[in-house]
Amino acid sequence: MDNRLLQEIDLTQLPVHIAIIMDGNGRWAKKQGLSRIYGHQNGVTSIRDIVKFCAEIGVKYLTLYAFSTENWARPKHEVKKLMSLLEEYLVKELPTFIENNIRFKTIGLIDGLPPVVQDRIKENIERTTNNTGLTLNLALNYSGRSEISDSIRRIAVDVHNGSLRPEDIDESTISGYLFTSGMPDPDLLIRTSGEMRISNFLLWQISYTELWITDVLWPEFRREHLVDAIKAYQSRERRFGKV
Ligand code: IPE
Ligand code: IPE
Ligand code: MG
């Protein structure tokens, strides 16, 4: 590992949960006159570097926005390619997850993904379920609003069948019904490619998350950029509404 890089951050004060909106694959490809698909392929290299680095330095949770519910509206061939890249990634990375003590998880409406992808997801979750290092959480067919709708539906079912009383519903109840149940809220949210928006990501969970946005396009994002983000995070004072 690059020790000089590590000296720039305080490893005892790492964000426990880092979330990333991995944006800019298409623009990166376009810049070099290539198809958007090429950008997505190269985005996978960035994912590998960031996952490995987070596991090495001891980040506990990394949530990556890989495919939103709105992304289905992209051209058919792009969606198809994204799904096949995802399948390939899950097959190729499983040994790395096992070797590096990484626990694989997902958030999102997994039922809506192609069955082959669902099978790979199941396998990766099962084979890494006892790992205790980094939890890699991929957001797939995910949006914050669909997550909240889904959890409200399940809350309603439980109220209806008598296992939950309306007067007992508080913020922690709601957190417990979300896909991220059991995970702490993100401390740091990174977005690449410079857009100043949330794009329906983790709406409930980011109420007090620190934001860091960079113009770097996702296929060019590497551990040194993540170190910059962590450095910025460590220089901030989180007040949570207090003085
Ligand atoms: C992010 O890159 C990847 C996904 C949303 C799947 P984009 O494909 O959104 O790239 P830009 O934003 O068009 O450059
Ligand atoms: C957000 O990026 C979704 C993912 C990174 C998967 P988009 O490219 O879909 O978001 P918009 O269209 O810029 O809001
Ligand atoms: Mg985009």
| pLDDT at residue 74 tops 80 | yes
Query: For position 1, what pLDDT does the model report?
Result: 67
Tell me the CA–centroid distance for residue 25 and ligand 2, in Å: 10
Residue 16's alpha-carbon distances to 21, 32, 63, 98, 131, in angstroms, are 17, 36, 11, 21, 17
The yes-or-no verdict on residue 239 having pLDDT over 90 is yes
Mean pLDDT computed over every residue of the chain: 98
Q: Based on the residue annotation, tell me whether 141 is a catalytic residue of this protein.
A: no
Mean pLDDT of 149-164: 98
Which mutation among 65, 199, 201, 218 tests ligand 2's pocket best, with the greatest number of atoms within 8 A of CB? 199
The string of pLDDT tens digits covering residues 194-227 is: 999 999 999 999 999 999 999 999 999 999 999 9
Q: Is 136 helix (H, G, I), strand (E, B) or coil?
A: strand
Contact 22, 192 (CB under 8 A): yes
pLDDT of 3 reads 84
Mean pLDDT, residues 130-159 taken together: 98
Q: CA angle, 107 as apex, 103 and 111 as ends, to 5°?
A: 115
Distance of CA 171 to the CA centre of its chain: 22
Domain definitions of the chain by residue range: 3-142+185-231
Residue 2 has pLDDT above 80, yes or no: no
56 pLDDT more than 90: yes
Q: CA angle 63-67-73, nearest 5°?
A: 155
Q: Domain 3-142+185-231: state its class.
A: alpha beta
Please list all protein residues whose beta carbon sits less than 5 angstroms from ligand 3, which is an ion. 23
| Number of Cα atoms under 13 Å in the Cβ half of residue 155 | 20
pLDDT digits (tens, 9 = 90+) for 82-128: 999 999 999 999 999 999 999 999 999 999 999 999 999 999 999 99
pLDDT value at residue 143: 98
Per the annotation, the verdict on 23 as an active-site residue is yes
| Closest ligand 2 atom number to CA of residue 21 | 5
